[in-house]
Amino acid sequence: MDFFLSLFMSGLTKGSIYALIALGYTMVYGIIALINFAHGEIYMIGAFTALIFSMLLGGPAVGMSGWTLLLTVAALSALYAAMYGWTMEKIAYQPLRGASRLAPLISAIGMSIFLQNYVQLVQTPNFLVFPDLIPQIDLPAAVAKAINRTHLVILIVTAVAMVALTVFIKFTRMGMAMRAVAQDPIMARLSGVKLDRVISVTFVIGSVLAALGGLLIGCSMRQIDFYIGFLAGMKAFTAAVLGGIGSIPGAVIGALILGFAESFAAGYISSSYKDMVAFIILIIILTLKPGGIFGTSQTQKV
Amino acid sequence: MGKLFSKFVLLLSLVLMAGPAAAQDTLKVGFGGAILGQLAAYGNSNLYGLEYAIGQINAKGGVLGQQVELVKEDDGCKPDSASSAATKLLSQGLKLVFGHTCSGATRSALSVYGNSVLMVASSATEVSLTEDGAHPYFFRTTPRDDFQVPTQVAYIRDKGFKKVAILHDKGDYGLALAELAKKDLEADPQGIEIVLFEGVTSGEVSYDDTVSLLAAKGAEVLVWGGYYSDASKLALQMRGKGLKTVIIGPDGLYNPSFIEMAQEASEGVLATGQMDLSKSEIAQAAIADHKTRHSEEIGPYFFYAAGAAQAVFAAVEKVGNTTDFEAIKKHLTEDTVETVMGPVRFDAKGDIIGVPFSLYEIQGGKFVELPNK
């Protein structure tokens, strides 16, 4: 039972890590039907900027600590990543908006390779130590045994982000504009929606989520390098597809399924085969429901 | 006219004589390895060792009465650059080459050199380079990867551990080491049980599930096959869950970055690594000599490269030329040469004899060499 519980918890934490990144993927896809492969790189840049700011502000010169440090670093790296996301959309995707659907996809892959190499060159090709920025929390003994505080914070942030995003898209004017763009960009424009602005906001929100992911996952892994975006991005993308790309609760559910599948496969079969088990589940679900769990299997959107 | 002609003949004969004489002034030997790029630190460490050994021998009159000159070619540790670097060295007619730095690059350089170059590596550790016996004139002064497994297994037996878990990163290096450890333990179990043998995905966001598995299997000791970055994540998550399993890693873990990353979780972790050769008096003198030329540290392969050069030059001196590889090989495998890295002699495959791996334990944030048994 203990073994089952510990696998369950590790699946839950892994799932929520994937979910935090998957939310950004699914949101961008939901609005403009673009798979933003550079999203994993924004996550990596978020982690790097968080590390840089935490060293600057946590150092003796400024001397911040505890929650102030964590929140300031989170805000600054989110801002930084938002600028990257905004610029990326303007440079790599906006000029290709009228082009065939394949063009922005290639552009996204190019952007991803560019950002990886850029960080490798201007920062470092080596692993860097990431500080554990999350302050000590006194947890009840039973909770502390099952989950550590970093993973608890990741879980909470993922849940809050999911709810906040759903509310934002359902109930605000900007959210309504986003849904309109998703349904029919030309009609939305004709009814006075500022298309460019809506898409920019989408990218900014996605990038902020990725940066938060970079910060929190950095705290959990305690090391980063320029390549972390690749594997995490791949897994998050898989999760988003599993849950139905474009759907916000879908991304979270998909990520949790992926996390549990990996964790239980590692525990009860073999960790050498866990990726295989996870992807077999993906294939089965997509065979039964081609649009993913929460996806509406609409045919071509062109 | 006659006078002019004789002057011309005189001049011509001088030029003709000067030609071969100048060529015989120096004995050119090659160095192939990473001088630039990400792994330059490894290549330069080899290079510094060679510079030291060549400086020493030139001060004593050189080899076969000639001063030794080093011709350097960069391969950036990349197999494809290594073959072009090797082609360049070969086309200059060099007979002795030191290098290359990395195992993959060494393999592709060897296929270019064939049997027309005698090569001594001082940092390429991959097993099959010597084990497959394809290159009779290839030698190396570093102990190869699999020499560290017996050291790890001996420690496990010595401490009386009964439940052993073996994890690897599914890469060539890590998997080979993990399989060797498994083979060694299974060949003569003495009550030792391998409770877990698995691969983990390198760069994973969390190793929690593997850690749960380790805890459930009740492993007393974990043998890790892989590099330091994944090992540090594993160590952090194991200690975070209160798991006290002893961790033993290979030389891929024997790296100060491991301690920096795993921080408090690194305490008590063991790793096999190259012996500390810097303790002897001549080694200290060599370091002092190096400091007069470069401000950089000597790096991990300085002594292996210097030892390689000293052993080869001693053999060449005995043979009297650089072209009779069979005779040079005979001396390298039969005579023991005292070098800055200690006594050097090779076995028939080309591996060094008597340079074991040491076992290090992390104590107080530092690798401490455990006494050799």
In a domain, B357, yes or no: no
pLDDT confidence of residue B306: 95
SS3 call for B88: helix
Residue A191 dihedral angles phi and psi, to the nearest 5°: -90, 15
pTM of the model: 0.78
B196 min Cα distance to partner chain A (Å): 9
CA B207 from chain center: how many Å? 31
Average pLDDT over residues A223-233: 88
> Which residues touch A20 (CB under 8 Å, ≥6 apart)?
A154, A157, A158, A161, A209, A212, A213, A216, A217
B198, B203, B236 ranked by CB distance to A227: nearest: B203
pLDDT confidence of residue B22: 44
Output the average pLDDT for chain A. 88
- Regarding whether B283 and B262 lie in a shared domain, the answer is no
In a domain, B99, yes or no: yes
- Regarding whether B282 and B232 lie in a shared domain, the answer is no
- Regarding whether B263 and B159 lie in a shared domain, the answer is yes
Q: Do the Cβ atoms of A228 and B203 come within 8 Å? A: yes
B206, B229, B261 ranked by CB distance to A17: nearest: B206
- Band the pLDDT of B145: cuts 50, 70, 90: confident
**Token code pair at residue B253:** 């873990």
- Regarding whether B197 and B167 lie in a shared domain, the answer is yes
- Regarding whether B250 and B308 lie in a shared domain, the answer is no
State which residues form the domain around B310.
26-142+278-344
Q: Is the CB of residue A263 less than 8 Å away from at least one CB of chain B? A: yes
Q: Is the CB of residue A275 less than 8 Å away from at least one CB of chain B? A: yes
Q: Any idea which residue has 């394809």 for tokens?
A: B134
Q: Is the CB of residue B166 less than 8 Å away from at least one CB of chain A? A: no
Residues from chain B that touch A125, judged by Cβ atoms under 8 A, are 38
- Regarding whether B256 and B157 lie in a shared domain, the answer is yes
Q: Do the Cβ atoms of B213 and A13 come within 8 Å? A: no
For residue B169, the domain's CATH number is: 3.40.50.2300
Q: Do the Cβ atoms of B208 and A221 come within 8 Å? A: no
Interface test with B, best of A1, A2, A5, A6 (most B CBs within 10 A): A6
- Band the pLDDT of B318: cuts 50, 70, 90: very high
- Band the pLDDT of A120: cuts 50, 70, 90: confident
> Which residues touch A83 (CB under 8 Å, ≥6 apart)?
none
In a domain, B135, yes or no: yes
In a domain, B18, yes or no: no
Q: Is the CB of residue B260 less than 8 Å away from at least one CB of chain A? A: yes
In a domain, B3, yes or no: no
Interval A124-179: pLDDT, tens? 877 888 988 888 888 888 777 778 888 889 899 999 998 999 999 999 999 999 99
B203, B209, B232 ranked by CB distance to A231: nearest: B203
Q: Is the CB of residue B116 less than 8 Å away from at least one CB of chain A? A: no
Q: Lowest mean pLDDT: which of B161-165, B169-173, B365-369?
A: B169-173
Q: Do the Cβ atoms of A267 and B260 come within 8 Å? A: no
Q: Is the CB of residue A87 less than 8 Å away from at least one CB of chain B? A: no
What does the alpha-carbon distance between residue B354 and residue B346 come to, in Å, rounded to a whole number? 9
Examine the pLDDT at A16 and tell me if it is beyond 80: yes
Average pLDDT over residues B198-225: 90
In a domain, B41, yes or no: yes
- Regarding whether B175 and B137 lie in a shared domain, the answer is no
- Regarding whether B136 and B151 lie in a shared domain, the answer is no
Residues from chain B that touch A272, judged by Cβ atoms under 8 A, are 170, 198-199
In a domain, B76, yes or no: yes
pLDDT confidence of residue B6: 62
In a domain, B217, yes or no: yes
State the pairing for strand pair B270-274/B366-369: unpaired
How many interchain CB pairs under 8 A, A with B?
A: 84
- The helix or strand, by DSSP H or E, that contains position B159, with its residue range, turns out to be helix B148-159
Average pLDDT over residues B140-157: 91
Interval B117-131: pLDDT, tens? 999 999 988 888 999
Q: Is the CB of residue B127 less than 8 Å away from at least one CB of chain A? A: no
Number of domains in chain B: 2
Question: What is the full DSSP assignment across chain A?
Answer: -HHHHHHHHHHHHHHHHHHHHHHHHHHHHHHH----TTHHHHHHHHHHHHHHHHHHHHSTTT---HHHHHHHHHHHHHHHHHHHHHHHIIIIIGGGTTS-THHHHHHHHHHHHHHHHHHHHHT-SS-EEPP--SPP----HHHHHH--HHHHHHHHHHHHHHHHHHHHHHHSHHHHHHHHHHH-HHHHHHTT--HHHHHHHHHHHHHHHHHHHHHHHHHHH-EE-TTHHHHHHHHHHHHHHHH-TT-HHHHHHHHHHHHHHHHHHHHHT-GGGHHHHHHHHHHHHHHH-TT-SS--------
B198, B215, B257 ranked by CB distance to A271: nearest: B198
A3, A126, A266 ranked by CB distance to B210: nearest: A266
What does the alpha-carbon distance between residue B309 and residue B340 come to, in Å, rounded to a whole number? 10
Average pLDDT over residues B175-189: 91
Q: Is the CB of residue B200 less than 8 Å away from at least one CB of chain A? A: yes
Nearest CA to A106 among A35, A23, A56, A6? A35
- Regarding whether B245 and B153 lie in a shared domain, the answer is yes
Q: Do the Cβ atoms of B213 and A271 come within 8 Å? A: yes
Last residue of one domain, picked from the residues B213, B241, B268: B268
Residues from chain B that touch A230, judged by Cβ atoms under 8 A, are 203
- Regarding whether B260 and B163 lie in a shared domain, the answer is yes
Interval B87-141: pLDDT, tens? 999 999 999 999 899 888 999 999 999 999 999 999 988 888 999 888 999 999 9
Examine the pLDDT at B21 and tell me if it is beyond 60: no
Interval B270-292: pLDDT, tens? 999 888 888 889 999 999 999 99
Examine the pLDDT at B20 and tell me if it is beyond 70: no
Rg from Cα positions in chain B: 24
Q: Is the CB of residue B266 less than 8 Å away from at least one CB of chain A? A: no
Q: Is the CB of residue B92 less than 8 Å away from at least one CB of chain A? A: no
Residues from chain B that touch A267, judged by Cβ atoms under 8 A, are 209, 212-213, 216
Q: Any idea which residue has 């597809």 for tokens?
A: A241
pLDDT confidence of residue B95: 93
B205, B210, B241 ranked by CB distance to A217: nearest: B205
- Band the pLDDT of B209: cuts 50, 70, 90: confident
- Regarding whether B260 and B177 lie in a shared domain, the answer is yes
Q: Do the Cβ atoms of A125 and B38 come within 8 Å? A: yes
Average pLDDT over residues A39-67: 90
